A and B are shown apart, each in its own frame.
Chain A
Amino acid sequence: MTDRALAVVRAGALTTVQDQGRPGHAHLGVPRSGALDAPAAALANRLVGNPAEAAVLETTLNGCAVRPRSTVTVAVAGAPCRVTVDGRPVAWGAPVRVPAGAVLDVGAAVRGVRSYVAVSGGVAVEPVLGSRSTDLLSGLGPPQLTDGAVLPLGRVVGPHARVHVAPQPAPPAELVLRVTLGPRDDWFTREAVRTFISRTYRVSAASNRIGLRTEGPTLERARSGELPSEGVVLGAVQVPPDGRPVVFLADHPTTGGYPVLAVVRAADLPAAAQAVPGTPVRFVAVRRR
């Protein structure tokens, strides 16, 4: 095996390979997948000199540790965390050199949920339908990282960025999600719609890459019966029978049969990816552009 590879020393709770996903296959039942906090993944790639489409690692809450077999440049972005190389603290949010055989440890998120680890050359697992992303809904792409796994790295194409630190948005203390109502707001009572856009929810611990689940006031339907399955978009706010809104994230199913009350602005979804359970959530109605 080539020495352009990463050995997984500590996989962490849930670390996956992510890139920009595989949009364009929804009609086949294939979720788009891809990094949940896409700007953070893009920044990490920029810092190490990778193209925007290079695959990175997405950690969940408690980080991961990897050992490159050759000297690489890495950058950790997204959720702030302690980063060490062979136990010595190094910078978060900046390019860092990791010598061959040294252990890069990405610590637990101090704030936020998901850290992104870009490695010069990018993670070069075999793409599926044009993407290296792990899709936890349908099982496409590489499996989540396990201790001892080895990930191939691609060829380095450019120099790393000459920066000491890159500004990044802080994970949200309160998540404000701008929404446009519809397409199925008429399935809910006016009171329910008012509740949805005026009351405060909290991020549920049952949230995952498929959806940001919430706890809070339940939303009552104005009509009973079933909605035939219909296509759903990223950011759709679906309301299952328990009446608590779920915001669809990257691994969301391509069709669904619960009414979609509103759709979250795409620009607000990266913050949703970093909201820890318990974070207050407010849905703010905005006009369609």
Chain B
Amino acid sequence: MRVLPVGDSALLVEVSSGDEAQALHAELLRRRAEGSIAVREIVPAARTVLLDGLTDPVRLASELTSADVPTAPPRAGEVVELPVRYDGPDLADVAALWGVTEREVARIHAGTEFRVAFCGFAPGFGYLTGLPPHYDVPRRATPRTSVPAGSVALAGPYTGVYPHVSPGGWQLIGSTDTVLWDHARVPAALLSPGTRVRFVPVGTYGPGPVDANDRGPVDADRPDKAGTDGRGPMDADRPDTAGTDRRGPVGADGRSPVGADGRGPVGRT
């Protein structure tokens, strides 16, 4: 475990695996709940947990040791069940990558208990882990310009559900009608870090109709495409990007500081 200072009031705790990061996150939440850590934000990610808004980061840094990381994340809390139709346009591709039938993809996916490792990309988007490593899949070579809300998707070790219509580079295997994010609801996010998730198959297996227009190549210079929408710098894990070759700098769209093109923010319909 490495504890890296971040500015004057934050620490980034780096561990060696996603499981350790989830376990550390759960432990830090427990300590905050019992009152032994005063911190504004606890942000888990792939291999790290960020503690932001600390009053005394130096002291906490000296106190945190590897002994603080439990061996595995707790299997506590309710399981959120997401009804899913395994009808995604990439189901056949995923079946080919896994070397199984489409029906088997659905069976394996629905037979797995997932856990929200972390959230990011958009409010309500969780990066779910649980599939064994040999089921990792690459992102699509060319991201779609528009992925429907509720799409259940795979990339790398993660499963995710797109909370809103957005560009997307992940492999789409199904869809759900469950609303992942509703800011009028309490809590707004159905999935938060640590939430256990199961996908419950409904309806028939097999891909639905695919709109060929949604599969066009992404031109990184166009403002309506992934990576050039004026959002902050991105990273390869983001579900609106394809492989790492697409990690172009954001801001290459020449937007002025006013963002005066009048486009609405991305991540909404």
Contacts and interface: CB of A to CB of B under 8 A. Distances in A.
Interface of A: 13-14, 23-30, 60-62, 113, 128-129, 135-140, 143, 180, 182-184, 204-211, 213, 226-233, 235-236, 238, 240-242, 244, 246, 248, 251-258, 260, 263-266, 277, 288-289
B232 A29 contact: no
Nearest to A213: B251
Contact of B257 (A26, A207, A240, A256): A207
Contact of A253 (B53, B120, B255): B120
Contact of B43 (A26, A62, A139, A252): A26
B256 A29 contact: no
B235 A28 contact: no
Given A231-B45, A240-B233, 8 more contacts: A24-B41, A140-B123, A140-B183, A208-B257, A254-B43, A255-B235, A257-B237, A257-B238
Interface of B: 4-10, 12, 40-50, 52-53, 118-125, 164, 183, 188-189, 192-193, 230-238, 244, 247-260, 264-268
A180 B12 CA distance: 14
A240 B250 contact: yes
Contacts of A288: 5, 7-8
20 contacts: A24-B40, A27-B118, A28-B188, A29-B125, A128-B183, A180-B8, A204-B251, A210-B232, A211-B251, A228-B46, A230-B50, A233-B6, A233-B50, A236-B7, A253-B120, A253-B232, A257-B237, A260-B6, A266-B7, A289-B8
A145 B218 CA distance: 30
Contacts of A263: 6-8, 10
The DSSP consensus for interface residues of chain A is: loop
B75 to A, nearest CB: 20
> Closest 10 interchain pairs by CB?
A257-B235, A231-B50, A263-B7, A231-B43, A228-B46, A139-B265, A183-B4, A13-B258, A255-B120, A206-B251
Nearest to A256: B235
Contacts of A140: 123, 183
B36 to A, nearest CB: 19
A257 B40 contact: no
A259 B130 CA distance: 27
Contacts of A61: 257-258
A240 B244 CA distance: 12
B6 A210 contact: no
B257 A257 contact: no
B221 to A, nearest CB: 13
Contacts of A251: 232
Contact of B6 (A13, A182, A204, A266): A182
Contacts of B46: 228-230
Contact of A241 (B123, B231, B247): B247
Contacts of B255: 206, 208
Contacts of A236: 6-7
A15 B181 CA distance: 26
Given A29-B125, A257-B236, A233 B10 contact: yes
A235 B7 CA distance: 8
A233 B7 contact: yes
A137 B231 contact: yes
A113 B207 CA distance: 50
Contacts of B230: 136, 208, 210
B193 to A, nearest CB: 6
Contacts of B235: 226-227, 229, 255-258
A182 B231 contact: no
A138 B123 contact: yes
Nearest to A135: B265
A262 to B, nearest CB: 9
Contact of A231 (B5, B49, B183, B264): B49
Nearest to B255: A206
Nearest to A226: B236
B152 to A, nearest CB: 18
Contacts of B44: 27, 231
B32 to A, nearest CB: 11
Given A29-B120, A255-B120, A256-B235, A183 B6 contact: yes
Contacts of B164: 139
A94 B133 CA distance: 62
B19 to A, nearest CB: 13
Contacts of A246: 232-233, 251
A27 B42 contact: yes
A16 B46 CA distance: 33
Nearest to B269: A139
A162 B235 CA distance: 50
A27 to B, nearest CB: 5
Nearest to A238: B233
